[in-house]
Amino acid sequence: MRDFLPVAAQARNLLAPLVPGELDDERARRLYAVHTWSWLTEPGDGVAGRLVAALGHEAALNEVIAGGRDGVAKDAASIGEKEWADARARWLPRLDPDGVRQALEIARRAGLSLLTSEDAGWPAGLEDLGPHAPMLLWVRGDAGALTRTPRSVALVGARAATAYGEHVAIELAADLVAHGVSIVSGAAYGIDGAAHRAALAAGGTTVALLAGGVDRPYPTGHSQLIERVAATGAVVSEVPCGTAPTKWRFLARNRLIAALADATVVVEAGMRSGSLNTAGHAATLARPLGAVPGPVTSAASAGCHRLLREFDARCVTSADDVRELLGAEPQTLFDLAASGAHRTDDTTRVRDAMSFRSWRPTAEIARRSGLAPGDVTGILGLLALDGHVVGGGEGWRRTRHGGGG
């Protein structure tokens, strides 16, 4: 350990430009160990996660290097014999003191911030990932953007988006940021890019999660966009500077998008789109999941329809729907009163004949309203469509939802 970690003063010098607040020797050593862990492991390494949760980063690192002769490390984290051997076999070949140090120097030159779970600005949602939470986040731009707004939404989707999909992404992003919601996405071509751009154009906050190091904008065609995201928002990654984006890191990155956002909305996705993976993570994390429908004749919407069908995703057609997904006050989006087409005096009589608390059979409602049960059935059907009433085994009752009128 002493051979590997630098002395505290050196760690402090390397880390001071990267972190907010005071940096005493103890914190410097600890952060250096955190960084080292992010260097040793691939994103979401659960063994590493359990180990550092049990022992702390420094002691855990010590154990790994020492080989855990006394079994303290793996017992504390309930790590099996083989798992421990496998993990060490994964990690130790990456133990490269120069590389670890140089990554910090690159980060300093790039003007990055380092965010860890001990910072006030660490996004609470990441904790839901448990042992698969990131060790740290590298931020290009303003780390405060991650927690700047009370709510954030992940707008993700196909790289091979259609004009329709990009149009919807733009509409949603612009409306949401205008209502103080930040937009999280993956900086990819297609939907991701449209969402970031619209958020920026509307003067909102947007956060881009990258699969590789934040010093390596990817895709390179979006270098300028990523630069603009960093200028007012944040470009974020859990992997060290210089790390290339790989297929695995894209999948792992998707879990961060789902965990950072309060809700995930897939705008357009082919049947094999990576955004379905993000949606899967959102579902696993029990985060609200929405999908924008599109023509059934469009392959670019097939993945969204699959989410509606198989994943019980919420059908999102407007920013209002997204806000509802976020748990905002549900609005009476489709108040029949606005048209009056189906609303007659009979409707009022039916509602007057109903209770908010007791279930009443159709016959009783008909009796109380003085209408034929046949009429009452039809009116109840319309009221139910609007959420004004609800039917059950014992009859019908009024709901507070759908409200007054």
Query: CB within 8 A of 176, min separation 6: which ones?
Result: 153, 155, 183, 199, 204, 319, 322, 323
Q: Do strands 234-237 and 137-141 pair parallel, antiparallel, or not at all (unpaired)?
A: antiparallel
Among 71, 221, 327, 381, binds its own copies (CB under 8 A): 381
**Cα separation of the two ends of the chain:** 71
Residue at token pair 């899967």 = 280
231 vs 248, beta carbon nearer its own copies: 248
Selected range binding its own copies among 143-151, 211-219, 308-316, 351-359, rule: CB under 8 A: 308-316
The answer to whether the Cα torsion of 290, 295, 297, 300 is positive or negative is: negative
| Minimum distance of its own copies from residue 176's CB (angstroms) | 15
Name the 3-class secondary structure at 157.
coil
321 binds its own copies (CB under 8 A): yes
Residue with structure tokens 């496998």? 86
Stretch that binds its own copies, among 20-28, 113-121, 205-213, 337-345 (CB under 8 A): 337-345
Contact between 157 and 275 (Cβ < 8 Å):
yes
Verify binding: residue 374, its own copies, rule CB under 8 A: yes
With residue 113 as reference, give the H or E element that holds it. Answer: strand 113-115
**Judged by CB under 8 A, which of 271, 328, 337, 348 binds its own copies?**
271
- Give the footprint of its own copies on residues 64-83 (CB under 8 A): 78, 80, 82-83
Which one of the spans 115-123, 149-157, 221-229, 306-314 is the region binding its own copies (CB under 8 A)?
306-314
| Binding positions for its own copies, 144-183, rule CB under 8 A | 164, 167-168
Quote the tokens at residue 103. Answer: 């990554």
Stretch that binds its own copies, among 10-18, 173-181, 186-194, 335-343 (CB under 8 A): 335-343
Name which of 21 and 393 has its Cβ closer to its own copies: 393
Helices 247-260, 275-284: crossing angle, 10 deg rounding: 50
According to CB under 8 A, which residues from 216 to 255 bind its own copies?
248, 251-252, 255
**Nearest distance in Å: CB 212, its own copies:** 17
